[in-house]
């Protein structure tokens, strides 16, 4: 296996050799070259809600089109998104994953997930694996990742990145497709996409997908059905995009492995003998309806109103508590409204006035169906352990202004004020629980109120129409979620928390050079403060408080280019440095100055695509995914090895309607971990093993 340095050299040397190679190919007019030529006018929507030229945006934003990723045939989002610079989603089980974008692998609400510009979930109950039920891959029209804190359009959770998946829009021509693939572990993946115009003003697209997989580990099977329906209405004044998504997802839940289990037999589920395998499951039902309504009020003014409704019903067994295995069910019902008024003037000046509203009702109920048990001195009675509601209301006015200054300079300034309020209601009290109840019984609370003012400032210098440099400052934040505030042990005391804050500065260079070479370089530093620190001892009991500080900095590189008529390449690489500045509010922690665990030092992806001119419709792609080592513990005593995973994909368009493909992931069958940590109770480490070599094949029909 090549070392990281060798693969980095390959990527960079191929870039430097491109002008010579391409100059020799005077007839370089293949479909691939045309695809890269389109990127010269690449547009993005995440930063303003309107189409913007990517080179003019003073921010690091990576994009993928549906056409670019047609051959991925991905069942989980990481298989596609991990080719972006500095972006890594690690696979936990099936399509369930956890992100690491400029931060360590995180399960907290430090990322904002959007689908078609509408939030996938509420900050009150963040799910790191929300894309598993988002229907993002059912009708994949593209993806945008804004790295660093969001713009003025984005509120809580947009600390480290905004991930926006885009579905395919209806079009006014009939175009349908269906596909079926099968593979190891009894994989079945069936998809249908129907697009049809109704008349000159109405068009509809309906996409359905169904996947099932028995999993390569014990107790790791999963099944998912998804529906995405879109309706487009256009006339001389209005454009209305209405979207309905629904997902029914069920997944078994394997556990983590100790070092011996991981090395001897990673296919075992790692569950304790007391865990009922038949009940070790996680489920999610997700429904969202939104309608983006845009009207051109005048030549300079446009209004955009997007109401949405969202409901999530999820449940899981706490397999990490084998003696009691309580069952938790969470329901989240949301109504929201995104309001924007766009003022466009001459010379590309634009002002966005916005006002976002979201109201969410959230309920958590945890029940132990097994008999009362005493575990390490704590009594866990049979019955209901948690049953509470939280009413969440968020109001956020904002302003974002884009101002060109002369021919080369563009300034983007934004300001967002966001107020969020929680109203907590507990359905348990001292009269309906036992004295040895395993959770602290809280009374009704309505004083958890969070207000944030978030400034943003970016400057772009257009060197020419194909190159630009930018500088950006952005402030972001996250409010505490319900579990951090309301799920407390009996030995704890009540407490209040403030939002966690982040300040980010960034410099970048973007270019489309001669011969369609794309180049994207950015360097960033992000400092967090008021981090939420748990386990702080007080006379009244342990509490959580604000006070943690950390620094996240790094460099990201993205390169893409055709290599003559028959080849093209994409190369992404990032170096990160994530450090505790002050782990505890009181300071003087041994971990201060250490690297934060679960922070890969380097992240890389190299894709080489072969599409011979002499065999039109044939395509072979090799992909090398690299994940650098990371520390398992806060003392920085144990590291994982560097990981390299090779994937191969091949596809052939037999006719204009029929196509076939083959995919082999982890071709070299490497043994690797998707997560690894060494908590105090497992100093030798606990691991989630990565998927071994896995093959699948598919057939698709378009008509």
pLDDT digits (tens, 9 = 90+) for 643-686: 999 999 999 999 999 999 999 999 999 999 999 999 999 999 99
The HSE-up count of residue 615 (CA atoms within 13 Å, CB side) is 12
Q: Which two tokens stand for residue 409?
A: 């300079």
Interval 417-440: pLDDT, tens: 999 999 999 999 988 888 889 999
CA distance linking residue 686 with residue 673, whole number of Å: 10
Region 107-114 average pLDDT: 97
Q: Let me know the angle formed at the C-alpha of 127 by 355 and 91, rounded to the nearest 5 degrees.
A: 130
List 377's β-bridge partners, or say none.
Answer: none
554 vs 28, which has greater pLDDT? 554
Query: Coil, strand, or helix at residue 574?
Result: strand
pLDDT at residue 442 in the model: 93
- What is the three-state SS of 394-427? EEEEEEEEEEEECCCEEEEEEEEEEEEEEEEEEC
Task: Label residue 180 exposed, middle or buried (CB < 10 Å: 0-12, 13-18, 19+).
Answer: middle
pTM of the full structure: 0.93
Alpha helices in 554-678 (DSSP H): none
- What is the three-state SS of 492-510? ECCCCCCCEEEEEEEEEEE
Interval 316-338: pLDDT, tens: 999 999 999 999 999 999 999 99
Residue 39 has pLDDT above 90, yes or no: no
Interval 549-570: pLDDT, tens: 999 999 999 999 999 999 999 9
Query: Which long-range CB contacts under 8 A does 202-206 form with residues at least 24 apart?
Result: 202/231, 202/232, 202/233, 203/170, 203/171, 203/172, 203/231, 203/232, 204/170, 204/229, 204/230, 204/231, 204/232, 205/139, 205/168, 205/169, 205/170, 205/171, 205/229, 205/230, 205/232, 206/230
- Count each helix (H run) and each strand (E run) in the chain, helices first: 5, 36
Residue 625 has pLDDT above 90, yes or no: yes
Region 404-413 average pLDDT: 96
CATH number for the domain whose boundaries are 4-702: 2.40.170.20
Instruction: For residue 168, give the DSSP letter.
Output: P
In Å, how far are 119, 331, 391, 471, 544 from 366, measured between CA atoms? 26, 12, 18, 47, 22
Q: Are 517 and 544 in contact (CB under 8 A)?
A: no
Neighbours of 5 (CB within 10 A): 8
């Amino acid at each position: 296996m090549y070392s990281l340095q060798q693969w980095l050299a390959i990527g960079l040397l191929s870039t430097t050799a491109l002008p010579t190679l391409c100059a020799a190919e005077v007839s370089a007019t293949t479909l691939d070259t045309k695809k890269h030529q389109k990127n010269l006018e690449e547009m993005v929507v995440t930063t303003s809600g309107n189409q913007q030229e990517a080179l003019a945006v003073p921010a690091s934003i990576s994009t993928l089109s549906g056409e670019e990723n047609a051959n991925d045939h991905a069942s989980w989002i990481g298989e596609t998104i991990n080719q972006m610079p500095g972006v890594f989603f690690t696979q936990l089980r099936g399509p369930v994953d956890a992100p690491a974008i400029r931060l360590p692998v995180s399960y907290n609400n430090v990322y904002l997930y959007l689908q078609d510009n509408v939030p996938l979930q509420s900050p009150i109950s963040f799910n790191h694996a929300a894309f598993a039920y988002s229907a993002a891959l059912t009708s994949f029209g593209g993806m945008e990742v804004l790295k660093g804190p969001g713009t003025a359009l984005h509120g809580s959770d947009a600390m480290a990145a905004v991930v926006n998946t885009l579905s395919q829009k209806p079009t006014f021509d009939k175009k349908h497709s269906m596909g079926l693939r099968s593979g190891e572990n009894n994989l079945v993946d069936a998809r249908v996409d129907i697009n049809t115009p109704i008349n000159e003003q109405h068009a509809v697209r309906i996409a359905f997908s169904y996947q099932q997989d028995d999993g390569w580990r014990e107790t790791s099977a999963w099944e998912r059905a998804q529906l995405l329906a879109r309706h487009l209405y256009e006339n001389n004044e209005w454009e209305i995009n209405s979207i309905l998504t629904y997902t029914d997802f069920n997944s078994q839940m394997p556990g983590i492995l100790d070092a011996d289990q991981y090395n001897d037999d990673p296919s075992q589920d790692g569950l304790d003998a007391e865990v009922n395998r038949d009940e070790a499951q996680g489920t999610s039902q997700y429904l969202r309806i939104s309608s983006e309504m845009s009207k051109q009020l005048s030549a300079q003014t446009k209004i955009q109103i997007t109401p949405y409704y969202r409901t999530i019903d999820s449940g899981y067994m706490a397999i990490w508590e084998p003696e009691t295995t309580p069952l938790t069910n969470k329901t989240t019902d949301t109504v929201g409204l995104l309001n924007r008024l766009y003022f466009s003037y001459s010379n590309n000046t634009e002002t966005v006035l916005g006002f976002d509203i979201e109201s969410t009702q959230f309920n958590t109920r945890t029940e132990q169906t097994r008999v009362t048990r005493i575990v390490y001195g704590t009594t866990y009675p049979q019955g209901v352990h948690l049953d509470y509601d939280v009413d969440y209301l968020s109001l956020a006015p904002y302003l974002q202004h884009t101002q060109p200054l002369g021919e080369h300079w563009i300034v983007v300034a934004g300001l967002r004020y966001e107020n969020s309020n929680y109203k907590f209601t507990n359905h348990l009290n001292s009269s309906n629980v036992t004295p040895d109840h395993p959770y602290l019984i809280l009374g009704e609370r309505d004083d958890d109120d969070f207000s944030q003012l978030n400034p943003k400032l970016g400057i772009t210098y257009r060197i020419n129409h194909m190159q630009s440099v930018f500088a950006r400052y952005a402030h972001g934040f996250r409010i505490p979620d319900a579990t951090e505030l309301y799920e407390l042990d009996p030995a704890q005391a009540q407490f209040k928390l403030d939002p966690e804050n982040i300040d980010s500065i960034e410099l970048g260079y973007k270019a489309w050079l001669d011969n369609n070479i794309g180049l994207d370089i950015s360097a960033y530093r992000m400092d967090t403060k008021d981090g939420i620190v748990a386990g702080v001892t007080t006379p009244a009991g342990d509490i959580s408080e604000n006070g943690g500080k950390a620094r996240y900095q790094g460099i990201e590189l993205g390169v893409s280019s055709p290599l003559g008529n028959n080849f093209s390449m994409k190369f992404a690489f990032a170096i990160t440095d994530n450090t505790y500045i002050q782990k505890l509010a009181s300071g003087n922690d041994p971990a201060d100055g250490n690297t934060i665990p679960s922070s890969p030092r380097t992240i890389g992806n190299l894709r080489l695509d072969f599409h011979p001119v002499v065999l039109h419709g044939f395509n072979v792609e090799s992909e090398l995914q690299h994940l650098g080592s990371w520390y398992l513990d806060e003392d920085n005593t144990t590291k994982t090895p560097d990981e390299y995973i090779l994937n191969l994909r091949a596809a052939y368009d037999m006719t204009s309607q029929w196509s076939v493909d083959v995919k082999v992931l982890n071709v070299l069958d490497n043994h690797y971990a998707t997560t690894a940590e060494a908590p105090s109770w497992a100093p030798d480490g606990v691991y989630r093993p990565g998927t071994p070599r896995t093959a699948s094949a598919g057939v698709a029909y378009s008509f």
